[in-house]
Structure 1
């Protein structure tokens, strides 16, 4: 099946993020959008890295994002985790305002 502009889901709005994500998931998303690592997020929120990983998995699933393509590190010279997370943050902020804390 060929891709057309009509097949593309609309980017989530801040209101939609509030509807689909829990308050904790929104906190994790805001920190992800800053380019933070799971370790840094875990330290900031006083939870385990495994808990952060679970939140990230839930966030990506609820937003229909490909976690492998959007947040995992790539081979050397092609952008590391921090760079990819920063790009993810920019993508989310431009489409959803997700980088805003609060709510």
Structure 2
């Protein structure tokens, strides 16, 4: 089954945490930190016609990856975590849930109150 929404994250721990929070069918793709041009081209082709969200760490590597997606996938929507948390995987559930909800991605309600 093809998902209509795709969230692109950096690491497996980011994917695991986002998967827990999201309450709708969403494909979560992991770049493993960096992505080569051929892999990026394949990815872009496979995402045609979908709502794509970029959720990467608030650090140098994350910003580099974000710039690459801005160039190569300009229609993607960029989601930002607060720089205080630096990494998606270590950001509080409540913060991530509110970021996702702000992008019209359905989340499990309990994560809007949950810390840690």
Larger relative contact order, structure 1 or 2 (CA cutoff 8 Å, min sep 6): 1
TM-score where L is the length of structure 2: 0.28
Larger strand proportion, structure 1 or 2? 2
